[in-house]
Amino acid sequence: MGVNVAPGFFAPQETPAAPLPPWQRAPEQLSATRGVEPLDPAAPLPLPGKLAAQLDAALKPDGGGNFTAVVQDALSGDVLYERDGGKNRVPASNMKLLTAVAALRSIGPETRFSTQVLAGAKPSIVVLRGGGDVLLAAGRSAPEEVMGRAGLATLAADTIAALAKQGVKGPLSVQLDDSLFTGPALNPAWSLEDVDAGETAPLFPLAMNGGRDVPGTVGGPRPKDAALDAAQAFTARLKAAGAAAGITVRTAVVRAKAHADAEVLAAVESATVRQQVDLMLETSDNYLAEVLGRMASLASGGAGSNDGATAAVRTQLGQLGIDTVSMRLSDVSGLSLANRVTTRQFAEVVRAITSGPDTRLRAALAGFPVAGLTGTLDDRYVDASTASGAGLVRAKTGTLNSVIALSGYVVDADGRLLVFSFIGNGLTPGAAGNKVALDRAASALASCGCR
């Protein structure tokens, strides 16, 4: 009996896992089906004084630095709270909100990017031309996906089918046309340490997996030549597809520009710009943001370069009536420390997305991460001081070494839609309390019945 009982006293005891917060648990039963009612324009506005008392208590840096902030009523545009809202700040990845607006306005939410195979100068040559899709899959197209909607295996099979109809036998050579983008592939304003860490990589108008070797990977080195990697993957699949049709394919790939009037042999289409913008915002994808910025420039007649991208962002915001004179735009992903944007400008951008007259911008709403649930906010809003914002706050995050930002929207306890932007600069690197400060401020907006 002692032998049987003893392990109960002396065996290591496992620490029970912390229970999931209620909003992250699977529901025990389905809720009754009901429609979502529109917001009531007569819902009361928060009183600025009471709102300020809550936000001033929350927006305190953990160590050095300071926060700037703006809160607006989305419907009227009334400023309900402001702390140095006109002061230029390093915004980190909140820059992607500006890029989203530029892409949706200049390219269009339902536009897709085409990756094509064109006939070369000789029947034995085909040209793989990039059209801006950097979410290509190596395998077959997956029409229901965003990452990998267009697949190189499908493109290769369709190319072989077209060549077989023309009686081409090979040996076939593949050329790569990635001339859509111009200027430096790497922005000189980016830290090489960030590049080495995989925060971004040299930019090309075609790439697999968002410019990564493996889809869904976070961090770590990225391909140095994503376009050539995609072309080599395409060639391997072309060779496999050609073997069954009696068409031989050489493995070497060289760069060459396709003729303007070249015949299109096959093509695959990307996910829509709407879907790509949502993916960019939810995951804060730097590579995709920079590509969308260049595509926005090209769509409006500019160059497919970094300068073209920043100019396109500035132009599109200006056309919305947002003052851009003070802005300093060094990139469109937010990696550069040379960017300067105010919280007032970000609040106006979020207001344009939620409530402005250009309804194309509503396409970005689904991409804002949801507090405690999705994207870059999925592991936040889990303690008692921020729980009131979980599932309610939707906001774009931003983080650099001494920078933190949060800009988004929330419906308060009285049913009023509020837009906000909070940015901290000069902060103590790694200080955990700064994220919590922003989350507490946003949670205060969600629970506010500040009347």
User: How confident is the prediction for the chain on average, in pLDDT?
Assistant: 93
Q: Is the peptide bond before 171 cis (omega within 30 degrees of 0)?
A: yes
Task: Give pLDDT tens digits for 299-325.
Answer: 999 999 999 999 999 999 999 999 999
* pLDDT (0 to 100) of residue 397: 98
CA distance 99 to 364: 11
Task: Give pLDDT tens digits for 327-340.
Answer: 999 999 999 999 99
Which CA distances in Å does 187 have to 114, 192, 216, 290, 302? 25, 10, 24, 10, 18
CA distance 138 to 149: 11
The pTM is what?
Answer: 0.91
Percent of the chain whose pLDDT exceeds 90: 86
Question: Lowest-confidence range among 34-43, 162-171, 425-434?
Answer: 34-43
Contacts of 358 by beta carbon, 8 Å cutoff, 6+ apart: 105, 320, 352
* pLDDT (0 to 100) of residue 32: 64
Domain ranges (residues) in the chain: 43-103+278-447, 114-271
CA distance 337 to 349: 20
Confidence of residue 17 (pLDDT cuts 50, 70, 90): low
CB 371 within 8 A of CB 442: yes
Using the predicted structure, report yes or no on whether residue 136 has a pLDDT greater than 70. Answer: yes
Spacing of C-alpha 365 from chain mean position: 12
User: What would the mean pLDDT of 413-435 be, rounded to a whole number?
Assistant: 96
Active site (catalytic) residues? 93, 96, 284
CA distance 398 to 412: 23
Task: Give pLDDT tens digits for 173-229.
Answer: 999 999 999 999 999 999 999 999 999 999 999 999 999 988 878 878 899 999 999
99 against 15, higher pLDDT: 99
Residue 50: closest CA among 439, 414, 384, 421:
414
Classify domain 43-103+278-447 by CATH architecture.
Answer: 3-Layer(aba) Sandwich (3.40)
Confidence of residue 6 (pLDDT cuts 50, 70, 90): very low
Contacts of 279 by beta carbon, 8 Å cutoff, 6+ apart: 135, 146, 147, 271, 285, 288, 367
Percent of the chain whose pLDDT exceeds 70: 93
